[in-house]
């Protein structure tokens, strides 16, 4: 199985699944539907508060806004989790059981205008183009 296929399979897993729970993508008790309903309720409340403020006498206190507590709000401890990093070739080999070959294709080379790999500062032999573009 290719890495691309594996990535597509993993990203298509529903967040409510046991894998999604293990990866922290879903917390039981709050889904997208409940989040959207809470947002709608807060926006309707804000609209109602603006209407009350606009149509009341000067000096009248505005009603307090509602704040719907969400179980999925990030706490300070969760916000300090380490950032994800790219896996090293050794980690990839260990994960896939040694079936990964790391290629250095493109390292220290440039591309010509048509996208062929060439040594920096040299002409492309395939398209006889002397203009070397971006480094990769």
Per the DSSP assignment, residues forming a β-bridge with 129 are 124
- pLDDT tens-digit profile of 30-69? 777 888 999 999 999 999 999 988 999 888 888 889 988 8
Give CA–CA dist 26/5, Å, rounded.
23
Give CA–CA dist 58/3, Å, rounded.
64
At residue 134, the 3 state secondary structure works out as strand
Of 6-10, 19-23, 80-84, 114-118, which one has max mean pLDDT? 6-10
Give CA–CA dist 34/32, Å, rounded.
6
Domain boundaries, the chain: 104-136
Candidates 34, 36, 62, 60; CA nearest to 47 is: 62
Candidates 95, 97, 38; CA nearest to 70 is: 38
- pLDDT tens-digit profile of 2-32? 889 888 888 888 877 787 777 776 666 777 7
CA 90 from chain centre, in angstroms, equals: 25
- Quote the pLDDT of residue 47: 94
Contact present, 70 and 83 (Cβ < 8 Å): no
- Token pair 């390292």 is found at 107
Task: Report the predicted TM-score, pTM, of the whole model to 2 decimal places.
Answer: 0.37
The band of 113, judged by pLDDT with boundaries at 50, 70 and 90, is confident
* Pairwise pLDDT comparison (2 vs 129), residue with the higher score: 2
The band of 76, judged by pLDDT with boundaries at 50, 70 and 90, is low
């Amino acid at each position: 199985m290719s890495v691309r296929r594996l990535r597509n399979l993993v990203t298509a897993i529903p967040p409510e699944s046991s894998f999604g729970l293990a990866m922290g993508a879903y917390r039981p008790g709050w889904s997208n539907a409940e989040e959207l309903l809470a947002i709608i309720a807060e926006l309707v409340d804000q609209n109602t508060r603006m209407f009350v403020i606009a149509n009341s006498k000067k000096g009248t206190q505005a009603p307090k806004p509602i704040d719907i507590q969400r179980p999925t709000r990030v706490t300070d401890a969760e916000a300090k989790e380490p950032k994800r990093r790219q896996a090293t070739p050794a980690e990839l080999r260990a994960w896939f059981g040694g079936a990964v070959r790391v290629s250095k294709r493109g390292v220290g080379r440039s591309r010509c205008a048509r996208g062929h790999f060439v040594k920096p500062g040299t002409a492309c032999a395939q398209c006889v183009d002397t203009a070397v573009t971006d480094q990769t």
